[in-house]
Amino acid sequence: MLGHFAFDRSNPQARVRQAQEIQAALGRGESVFVFPEGTFAEQEGVRAFYLGAFHAAVNASCPVIPIALSGTRRLLRDKTYLPRPAWVTVTICPPLQPAPEGQKATWQDVVRLRDAARQAISKASGEPLV
């Protein structure tokens, strides 16, 4: 009812289908919010990003707007359910274009987009790439 996507990380076929669902939503003009790390960890650092959402963005020719969250590790610790008092900073980074204007998108564009988003989030959040 909320319009969110449920992800099954254990099934590779489901990941492909879910990326297609995201691409379809983008094609309908919907905005999609994704946590590309796929999990939350106690240790500081921006982990590797899954490619599915970036593949969908490139195929749908939609820009990606990286959003960095700082302070969430203090707010909600790993393996806990109750938030603690903390300040959270939300930084909206400049949009990243999926492929050069007028060119057909390639797999390298997917990887470039993923890496640029990860770099922007790392810089804005003050957390290292791990």
- What confidence tens digit (pLDDT) does each residue in 13-23 have? 887 888 889 99
Residue 86 placed within a domain: no
Domain with 120 in it: 12-64+95-125
**CA nearest to 106, candidates 66, 64, 59:** 59
Residue 43 placed within a domain: yes
Residue 71 placed within a domain: no
d(CA 63, CA 99) in angstroms, rounded, equals: 9
Residue 99 placed within a domain: yes
Residue 114 placed within a domain: yes
Does the model's pTM come out above 0.95? no
Residue 31 placed within a domain: yes
Q: What is the pLDDT of residues 30-54, one digit of tens each?
A: 999 988 887 777 788 999 998 989 9
d(CA 22, CA 87) in angstroms, rounded, equals: 31
Question: Count of domains in the chain?
Answer: 1
Residue 17 placed within a domain: yes
Residue 5 placed within a domain: no
Q: What is the pLDDT of residues 70-98, one digit of tens each?
A: 988 888 877 788 989 999 999 999 999 99
Find the Cα–Cα–Cα–Cα dihedral 1, 114, 125, 82, rounded to 10°.
30
